[in-house]
Structure 1
Amino acid sequence: MTKGKERIRFDCTGEFNEPHIYKCSECDHEFRGTIGGNEKRELQLNCPECSIEETIISQPTQFEVVGVIENAS
């Protein structure tokens, strides 16, 4: 459970380090996530349902960005 309030801005994208809502193009599962870096500094995004993963260069191709999650005060 998160503390505080959150606001989801649909049809918007934010910075890589901000949490987003993604939709997998393979299984249509929607999930919250951030694009995380690994030890090689490659940016990775993984679907928790079907295990599709993608190395992100600028914009994801296997995942649709549904919206960005912001902390609302």
Structure 2
Amino acid sequence: MTANLPVPEFQLGQTVRVVPHVNGHTEKIGVIRDIIWHYKDARYYFYIKVGKQKISTRYIANELEIHKP
């Protein structure tokens, strides 16, 4: 990552919960599999996997929270 970018809110491999009803999403618990900086939007997008399934939806930070089992 470039040194000028802010630190992402979540890290690769971190277990997160998709907050239900935020932007129409359903609740999912998964692991951060990829983090992309979007230059035009000036924010990170997060991709998760649930089990072995890669979820194609990209999420922004306010749609996710750290999962505490």
TM-score where L is the length of structure 1: 0.39
TM-score where L is the length of structure 2: 0.40
Which is greater in Rg?
1
With CA pairs under 8 Å and 6+ residues apart, which has the higher RCO, 1 or 2?
Answer: 1
More helix by share: 2
